[in-house]
Amino acid sequence: MNPAWTARLLLAQRATAIVLAFAVAIHLATIIYAVRLGLNAGEILGRTRGNALFLAFYSVFVIAASIHAPIGLRNIFREWANWRGYSLELAMIALSLVLLALGLRAAFAVYGA
């Protein structure tokens, strides 16, 4: 890959890492808070349904993760499996899209359910 792009990927990886650091912390705190009074689907959906803040937060979380994870995985594949070149870039773009699609689908599902 063109070095300018490699540098940008790393920049994107670091930037999304910062977002994820906060997002993961909030996510974990939310889980602990949510299960306080026992956990069931109905209760959780009751809190998330129609909650725009919830949707916005998890959308940002999902977008950051779908950028961050494939970049890291790409490095691991390069280093440990000697996988290089276009096939690797395409696979990682595909992975990014899959993460994005599955993540947003889940976020919208609990928002709109």
How far apart are CB 91 and another protein at their closest, in Å?
15
Token pair recorded at residue 26: 């909030």
Q: Verify binding: residue 10, another protein, rule CB under 8 A.
A: yes
Closest CA to 65 of 104, 112, 108, 105: 104
* Backbone region of residue 82 per phi and psi (left: phi > 0; alpha: psi in -120 to 50; beta: other values): left
State which residue, 6 or 40, has the beta carbon closest to another protein: 6
Question: Segment 82-101, which members bind another protein (CB under 8 A)?
Answer: 84
What gap in Å lies between CA 75 and CA 81, rounded to an integer? 10
Name the one residue in this structure whose structure tokens are 């990682």. Answer: 92
Segment interacting with another protein, rule: CB under 8 A, options 18-26, 35-43, 46-54, 71-79: 71-79
How far apart are CB 8 and another protein at their closest, in Å?
5
State which residue, 9 or 104, has the beta carbon closest to another protein: 9
Q: Verify binding: residue 33, another protein, rule CB under 8 A.
A: no
Closest CA to 5 of 103, 76, 93: 93
Which positions touch another protein (CB under 8 A)? Answer: 1, 3-4, 6-8, 10-11, 14, 75, 78-80, 84
